Structure 1
Amino acid sequence: MKAHFLRPGKLLPALLVAALGACDNSTSTDYDPAAHASVNGSVQSGTTPLAAYEIHLYRAGSGLQELVASTSADDDGAFNLSFAIQPGDTQSVYYLVAEDPVNGTAGHYDVSLAAALGTAPQAGMAVVINERTTVAIAYAMAQFLHDDVQVAGTYPGLQNAAATTQNLADRQTGQVGEVLANEPNGLDTSTLRTFNSLANMLAACVQAQAACEALFTNALTLGGGAPANTLEAMRNVARNPWQNVGALFALAQTAADYAPHLAASAQPVAWTLAVRYIGDGPLGQQLDGPGNVAFDAEGNAWIANNYEFSLDPAAQGICGGRQVMKLTPTGGTPPGAPYGNGGLYGAGFGVAVDAQGNAWVGNFGFQGASCQNDFLALSHSVSKFAPDGEALSDRDTGIVLEGLSMPQGMNVDQQDNLWVVGCTSNSVVKLPGGDPQLAQNFDDLGLQKPFDIAFDSRGHGWITSNATGTVVEVDNDGKQVGEAVSGPGIVRPMGIASDSQGNIWVSGSGVLDPPCPTPNPDDILIRAVGENGELNDSAAVTLIRTEGEARTVSTFGRTLAGPERHGLRLPWGIAIDGNDNVFIANFAGQRLMALCGVREEFCPPGTATGDALGSDDGFPSDALTRNTAVQIDSSGNVWLTNNWIIDAFSNIGRDDSHQNNPGAHAMVVYIGLAAPVKTPMAGPPRRP
C-alpha cells in the first residue's frame, strides 16, 4: 500500500520559494514589507530523534494554505527555520509538518508529524514536533484539516482551534499541555490516558513500518477511504472516533512511549477527548452548577451558573449565584471575569448573546435547600452584560419583566429579538430588539412548565411545554401557529433546537420535572430510572418537519431490549452542528449522545436520520457528571455543562443533604468532534 503527503511543489506549484540568506538551510517565501520570525526545533518519536526529516512551515487562513519555509532536521532531529511574516497579520495560523524523507517510495506508509505554532509567531520560538503535538493538531483542528491535509478555515474558529492545541500538548516541550496535565483533568479523568494512547498509536507506526498497516487500514475517512499519511490518519480518528476502536486500541497497546496511557483492560467506547474547563487557577472561576452556555462572535463562552461556590455539597446557606461566568475559547479567564452587579441571582438554563455581543441571563432563583432568601422575589428578571462584562442592568433587581416568573430557556431570533421562557409564569416574553420597554408577555399559549425555545428558518419560535408533553409554535408576533405538537417521544420535553433545513428537534427526557416553582426539590424525576438512567424507556429525541401548519413527527427513542440509541439516558439539552447532526446532553449516564441528522451524507454509510452517530452507546466520559446543556462552538468543539454532581440526591431529608449545594464545577469540552457553527447563534445553525 502506498500513500503520499503532497510535496510543497505539488501542493502549490505556483508558489515562489526564495532563500533568505540566513545561516541555516531553510527557505522562505518573500514578503515586502516584512518582519521576521524564527523557530528552533526538534522532531522526535518519543525520546528518539528523527534524523533528516523534512520540515515544512505553512501559513493557513480562509483560503489555500501557503508554504512559508522549509528545511531538514540534522542527525539529532534538530532544525532551524527563519521566515518572513506580514506585519500586522494576527489571524494567519502557522503550523509545522515533519515528513519522513522516504515518504512517497513504493510500499512505504507515509509518516507525517505536525505541531501548531498558532498566530503571530515570534523570533526564537522553541518547538518540539512529536506524536503528542500531532494528536493535538489532529483533534483540535480536526474540522479544518481537509483533504490532503490542507488547512483552511474562517476566523475565529481556525485561530481558536490552533490555540486549543496547546491545551493538549505543549509545543515548546512536546509534553502534555498544562490544561490536560493538571486538575480538574490530569489523573482525575481518563482523558489524559486516552491522549497518550493516541500518541502511542502513532508512535508504533513511526518507529516500525510493519505497525502502520493497522493504522492505515482502520483510521479511515467517513466514507471508508484510507489516509494519505499519519497526520491524516489521526485526523480521521478524531472525526470518526467510533470507527474500528478495538483494532486501533490493540495498536496503541504495542507502544509505551507516552505515559500514563490506557490499561489493557480499559478499551474506550470511542476515541474522544473530553477536557474539563474551569478558567485559570486551581479553582478557576468557581463554577457551581453551570446550567447553560452561549458563545459570542469571538468564541468566548458565557455561562449561566446556579449557586454560590463551595466544594462541599452539604455546605449550609449556599444561595443563588450572583455572577455570570465567561471563559475564553480555550477555557481560560478573560479580564475581570466572572462578572456581577447586574442583579443576577440563581441563573438556570437561560443565557444568550445578542448581535451586539451583549450577554443576557435569566434569574431563575436557584439556591441551596438551606438558603433563607426569598427566591420568588428574585426570579422575575433578566440581567444584561456588555461584551467586556460591564453590568447593563440594575445591580439589585436586574431587568424586571412584567408577567415573567422563574425564567429558564432564552434565545435570540434572526431579528435580534430576545425571547425568554417563564417556567412558573407559563409564558414567553419577547423583548423586541432587546428593549425591555417594549416587552410583551404571551401567557395564552397553553404552556405548562415551559422550558426552552428555538427558532426555525422562518423566525418562528418553538417552545417545549414540559408538563403537557407538547411543543408550541408561535410566529414572530407571539401568536400560536396550529395546534400544539405531541408525539410518543415528546414526554417531559426539555431542550429544543432547529437545524439548517427548518426542522425542529426535541429532547424528550421521559421523566424530568423542572424545579419550578421550587428551585431546591428533593427530586426532579417523576419515577425512578436507575442511577445511570439505564431504566428510562421513555428517553427519546423527536424530529418535527413542517410545511406551513402541517407537521410530520418522527420519534427516535431508546430501546431497552436492544442496543438502539442506548446512549439516551436522561436527555436534557440538545444542539445541532454545522452538518445538521444532533447532539444531546444527559442528566444521567455520563455520556454525550449523538444522532444522524437530516443530511445523511454527513453520517457513516448506511446510517439514516435518527440513528446513532457511530456509537449506540454515545460518547461516555468520566469527565462528565450530570449534564443539562450542550452547545457547539465555531471550532467544532462540543461543550457540556457539568450542572449537578453525580450524588446530588444523597442524604435527602438530612442536614447534610447534598441538595444544600448539588452544583458541579466544570464545563466539559469534546475537542473537535462536531462541525463548526457560526456564533452567536440567531435562529438555525449556520456554518461559519
Structure 2
Amino acid sequence: MKNTFIYWFICLLALSLTTSAAWSSDQKFSITVLSAGIPVSNAEVTLWQAQPETKPKMLGQGSTTKAGQIQFDTVPAPVSGFYYLISKGGEIDGVDVPNYAGLAVLRADQQGAVTINELSTIGSVWPLAGLFAEDQNITGSANGLLIGSQHVQNLVDVSTGTFGATVLNGSNLTFSETVARMNTLAALMSLCGARNDPSNCEKFIDITAGKSTLTALRNIAVRPYLNTKELFALFTTAFPYPDGEERRSTNFLPYLSYVPDDFALMVRLSGGGTYSPGRLMFDNRGQLWSGQNWMPGSQSGLSKAIGGGVVRLAPGGEALSPPLVGYNGQGLDGIGWGTTVSADKVWVSSFNGTVGVFDLDGKVLGPAHVDGENGALQGLATAPNGDVWVCDNQLNQLIRFPKGDHTKGEVVNVPGLKRPFAVAVDNRNVVWVTNNGSITVTRFLAGQPDQAQQIQLGGMAPRGVAIDSSGHVWVGNNFSMGYPLAKVPEKASIIEEFKINIEKVLKNEQQGITKTGNVTLISPDGAVLQKQVLEGEIYAPWGVSIAGDDTVFIGNFLGTGFIHMCGTNEKLCPDGKKTGEIIHYYRSGVLQESTDTMLDDAGNVWMANNWDVIPALVDDNPDRRTATMGGGTGMVVIYGIGAPVINPLIGQVRSSN
C-alpha cells in the first residue's frame, strides 16, 4: 500500500511540474531589423508588453548586430495584452539613420522569427493607431488591445515582414488600393532608412508632424485624409522614373499611380454565412455579430429570397459561425436591422416576426416568447437597465423584454409610430424610435409610452439612430423633404416596401434626381438643433454610429461608402470643423451599398456591405451572371480612423479614453 501511495504521489508531482512548465514556458524572439531589405545595425530594439488599462512594460532592450539581428530569450508568455517590438535609429552601411523607427506587434502565441521593417511597421500601426500615445506607449482596454493586435495579421506577417494573407486574398487585392497604399508609405518610410535621403526624409517627417517614421505613420493612420497631395508628390519626386523606363525606382511594388483620396487601410472580411449584413454589433469579448438579409450563394432579392442567419467573427475577423447558414434555426428567415448585444446574449429579429436569442458562444437560447401578436420586425436596442426593445415595423408597435428576459416579451403600444425601424435608449431610459413611414422620431420615457413626443426631422423615411456621450441624438433620413416617393400599402412587409421604394428611386435617377437624404441632430430633451445636415452631399443615409470622441460616422447607402462628420464636441474635431460638417468621405472598391457603420474597442470603423448589384435585387427575372450578387459581400474594417469605444453598445456611446 505504501509503495502504491509513493508511486501515485510521484506521478502527480511529475504531472504538476509538467503542467507548471507548460504554463510558464518561455518564448524566444529572433529579431531582424531591415529597411528595404537591407540590415540596420546598432539599432536600439526594445521589447514591450501592452497591458490593459495601464502603461506598457519594457521587458528587454539591446542593439542589433551588423546583420541587423538581436535575440531575446526566456521571455514568459503574456498573461494579458500582447508583446511588441520597437526599433530606433541605427546604421545602414555605416551611415546613421536616426529617424528610422519601426514596429512589430506580435500575436499572443507567437515566438521565433520577427522582422521589423517598413511593412511590419505599417501593418502594426494602423489597427492600433487609436491606442497610440507616444512612440512606444500603446494603451487601451483589454478588448481594444485584443482586437487591434489580432488584426495586424490581416495586413502583415510580422515574422517575415511581408503582406498578410487577408489583404492579398481575392476579396481584397484587386478591389482596393490598400496594398498599393502600404507600399507607397513603405517607400516613403525608406527615405529615412535604406534610401538614405536625409532631405526628403526630413520632408516626410515635417509633412506628417512626426518625430520619427513611427510617429509619422501613426499620424497618417488616424487622419489619413490629410496631406495626401504632398505625400504623393514627395513619393513621385523621391522615386522618379529612371531614364527610358516606366517603373519608378522602388522595389515596393505595386505602388500608387495616382493621388489617393486618403491613406486609409482596409480589408474586407467574409465567411461564416456573411452576405448582405444589416446591423453590426460587438460583444464584451471583442466578437462581432451581425444578422444577414439573405443566404450567401442564393439568388435572393426583393421578389424571391432565402433568408440569412447570424454571423459571428472572432476579434481578429475570422469567421466563427458556420458557413452558408451562419447561426440559424429558431424559425429565423432573414434579418434586417435587427441585431443587438446585451451583457450575455445576442438578439436578432427576423423579417418573419421571430426574435432569435443566442449566448455569446452561439448556443441557441430562443426563440423569444412574445405575449401578443407581432408582425415583421426590424431594429433592436439594449437599454442601460437591461431591457431589450424591438421595433415591429409592420404593426406599428414595440416589443419589450424586461431586464433581457427572452421568455417575457410584451407588446408596447406607442402613439405616433409609423413603420418603426430603429430604436435607441439613452442613459435616462428615454426611448427614441425612427419612423421610416413618416418624417418623425418618437421619443418617450420608457415607463410612459402614452406620453410619447413626435419630433419633426426635416427628412423622410428615417433609418438609423445613435446617441452620443452627452445624450445628443443623430438620425439618418433616407430621403429629403419633397423627394418623389412611391406609395407603400399600409401593412406591406419591409421587403415589399424596399422593392417599391428602390424601383421609384431608380425611376427618379432616370429623371436626373441622383441624391437625396440628410441627417438630423436632436438635443437630449427633444429639440431639433440641426436639420438637413449633409443635404445634397449624401445619398440615402442609413446607419449612424458615434466614436469615442463623439464624432459621427454615417453609412452612405446609395452613394457607396461612408462619411465621417464633426459631432457636438467641436474641440475634438480636426481643422476647425463645425458640428455637422464633413471630416472625410471614405470610398473604396471593397465598400458597397452600406447600411451600418460601427466602431470597435480599438477605434477601427466597420462597414456593412448590404447591397451590391441592385438590378439583381429588383428584377423579377434577373441576369443569371449577377443573380447571386444582389446582396453585399462581406464586412469591411477600416483601421485606425475612429476614437475607441466600450462595447457592447448599451445606452449612449461610451468612450474608452
1:5-16 mapped onto 2 (5 Å cutoff): none
> What corresponds to 1:231 in structure 2?
214
Write the distance in 2 (CA, Å) between the matches of 1:648 and 1:668: 23
Distance 1:262 1:661, change over 3 A: closer
Report deviation, 1:316: 10
Hey, what's the Cα distance between the residues in 2 that align with 1:363 and 1:189? 33
Mapped pair 1:52 → 2:42 = yes
Q: What is the CA–CA distance in structure 2 between the aligned matches of 1:481 and 1:102, rounded to whole Å?
A: 72
Corresponding residue for 2:315? Answer: 329
Q: 1:529 to 1:73 in 2, by over 3 A?
A: farther
Match of 2:204 in 1: 215
Q: Is structure 2 residue 339 aligned with structure 1 residue 351? A: yes
Preserved CA contact (<8 Å) 1:54 1:101: yes
CA contact (8 A) 1:316 1:660 kept: no
Q: 1:205 Cα shift? A: 3.1
CA distance in structure 2 between the aligned counterparts of 1:532 and 1:304, rounded to whole angstroms: 33
Amino acid at match of 2:580: G
State the shift of 1:110 in Å: 2.0
CA drift of 1:487 comes to 3.1
Relative distance call for 1:92 and 1:650 in structure 2 (3 A) is closer
Return the alpha-carbon distance in structure 1 between the equivalents of residues 591 and 200 of structure 2: 34
- For the pair 1:591 / 2:561, whether they are aligned, the reply is yes
Q: Distance in 1 between matches of 2:512 and 2:474?
A: 22
Q: Residues 442 and 315 of structure 1: is their aligned pair in 2 closer, same or farther, counting only changes over 3 Å?
A: closer
The alpha-carbon distance between structure 1 residues 481 and 135, as it changes in their structure 2 partners (threshold 3 A), is farther
Distance 1:81 1:311, change over 3 A: farther
* Residue identity matched to 1:477: G
Which residue of structure 2 lines up, in the alignment, with residue 686 of structure 1?
654
Aligned-partner SS, 1:119: coil
- Under a length normalisation based on structure 1, what TM-score does the superposition of the two structures give? 0.82
Offset from partner CA, 1:519-550 (integer Å, 9 cap, x none):
25545345459879995554211110134xx5
Task: Determine if contact 1:39/1:80 at 8 Å carries over to the other structure.
Answer: yes
1:519 is paired with a residue whose SS is helix
Matching of residue 73 in structure 1 with residue 43 in structure 2: no
TM-score normalised over the length of structure 2:
0.86
Name the residue aligned to 1:259.
Answer: 253
2:168 maps to which of 173, 181, 195: 181
The equivalent residue for 2:501 is 524
1:248 aligns with 2:224: no
- Shift of residue 399 of structure 1? 4.2
State the Cα distance separating 1:680 from its structure 2 match: 1.1
Match of 1:15 in 2: none
3-state SS, counterpart of residue 555 of structure 1: strand
Check if 1:126 corresponds to 2:113.
yes
With over 3 angstroms needed to count, the CA separation of the structure-2 counterparts of 1:201 and 1:556, relative to structure 1, is: farther
Distance 1:97 1:578, change over 3 A: same
Q: Which residue of 2 aligns with 1:543?
A: 521
Q: Does 1:507 align with 2:476?
A: yes
Post-superposition Cα deviations, 1:237-292, rounded to whole Å, max 9, x if no partner, equal: 011111111111223344433222222xx3221211121011xxxxx224221111
> Match for residue 603 of structure 2?
636
Match of 2:28 in 1: 38
Pairs within 5 Å for 1:88-107: 89-101=78-90
Distance 2:24 2:414 in 1: 64
- Asked whether the 8 Å contact 2:272–2:321 carries over to 1, the reply is no
Residues 480 and 464 of structure 1, relative CA distance in 2, 3 Å threshold: farther
Matched, 1:673 2:611: no
2:365 corresponds to which residue? 392
Give me the whole-angstrom Cα distance separating, in 1, the residues matched to 2:205 and 2:573: 21
Q: For the residues of structure 1 that align with 2:354 and 2:369, how far apart are their CA atoms?
A: 5
Partner deviation per Cα, 1:322-360 (whole Å, 9 max, x = no partner): x2110112210237573222221111110111112x111
Distance in 2 of aligned mates of 1:335 and 1:307: 15
Letter in 2 for 1:184: S
> 1:586·1:592 contact (CA, 8 Å) conserved in 2?
yes
Per the TM alignment, residue 203 of structure 1 is displaced from its structure 2 partner at its CA by 1.9
Contact 1:534 1:589 in 2 (8 A): no
Alpha carbons of structure 1 residues 339 and 559: separation in structure 2 relative to 1, 3 Å? closer
- Aligned-partner residue type, residue 608 of structure 2: T
User: Who is 2:242 aligned against?
Assistant: none
Q: Which has the higher helix share?
A: 2
Cα distance in 2, alignment partners of residues 666 and 39 from structure 1: 35
Residues 648, 325 of structure 1: CA spacing in aligned structure 2 closer, same or farther, 3 A cutoff? farther
Name the aligned partner's letter for residue 300 of structure 1: Q
Q: Which residue of 2 aligns with 1:25?
A: none
3-state DSSP of counterpart to 2:365: coil
Number of aligned pairs? 605
* 1:229–1:647 Cα change, 3 Å: same
The whole-number CA distance in structure 2 between the counterparts of 1:210 and 1:532 is 54
**1:112 corresponds to 2:80:** no
In the superposition, relative to structure 1, how do residues 622 and 344 fare at CA in structure 2: closer, same or farther (>3 Å)?
A: same
SS at match of 2:337: coil
Are the counterparts in 2 of residues 64 and 151 from structure 1 also a CA contact under 8 Å? yes
> Within the alignment, does 1:269 sit opposite 2:270 as a pair?
no
The equivalent residue for 2:402 is 432
- Quick one: structure 1 residues 111 and 574, their matched pair in 2 at CA, closer, same or farther if it must change by over 3 Å? same
**Displacement of 1:303:** 1.0
Tell me which amino acid in the other structure corresponds to 1:37: Q
Counting only pairs closer than 5 Å after superposition, residues 601-612 of structure 1 correspond to structure 2 as: 601-612=571-582
In structure 2, how many angstroms separate the alpha carbons of the residues matched to 1:471 and 1:584?
18
Distance 1:121 1:582, change over 3 A: same
Gaps of 5+ in 1: 1-32, 220-225, 279-283, 365-378, 561-565
Question: Could you tell me whether the CA contact under 8 Å between 1:595 and 1:611 is conserved in 2?
Answer: yes
Over 3 Å counting, the alpha-carbon distance change for 1:300 and 1:604 in structure 2 is same
Q: Distance in 2 between matches of 1:588 and 1:418?
A: 30
Report 1:382-421 matches (<5 A).
382-394=355-367, 399=369, 402-421=372-391
- Partner AA of 2:86 in structure 1: V
Change beyond 3 A, Cα 1:533–1:134: farther
Bigger mean CA deviation after superposition, 523-532 or 468-477: 523-532
Cα distance, 1:196 vs structure 2:
2.1
Shift of 1:443: 3.0
Residue 158 of structure 1 aligns to which amino acid in structure 2?
Answer: L
Residues 436 and 316 of structure 1: CA distance in aligned 2, closer, same or farther (over 3 Å): closer
1:133 match: secondary structure = helix
Taking the aligned partners of 1:108 and 1:128, their CA distance within structure 2 comes to: 18
User: Does the 8 Å contact 2:273/2:310 carry over to 1?
Assistant: no
For the residues of structure 2 that align with 1:80 and 1:576, how far apart are their CA atoms? 43
In 2: Cα distance, 1:646 partner to 1:480 partner: 43
CA gap of 1:181–1:571, structure 2 versus 1, over 3 A, is same
Which amino acid in the other structure matches residue 570 of structure 2?
E
Q: Deviations over 1:7-27 (max 9, x none)?
A: xxxxxxxxxxxxxxxxxxxxx
Separation of aligned partners in 2, 1:551 and 1:238: 36
Shift of residue 509 of structure 1? 1.5
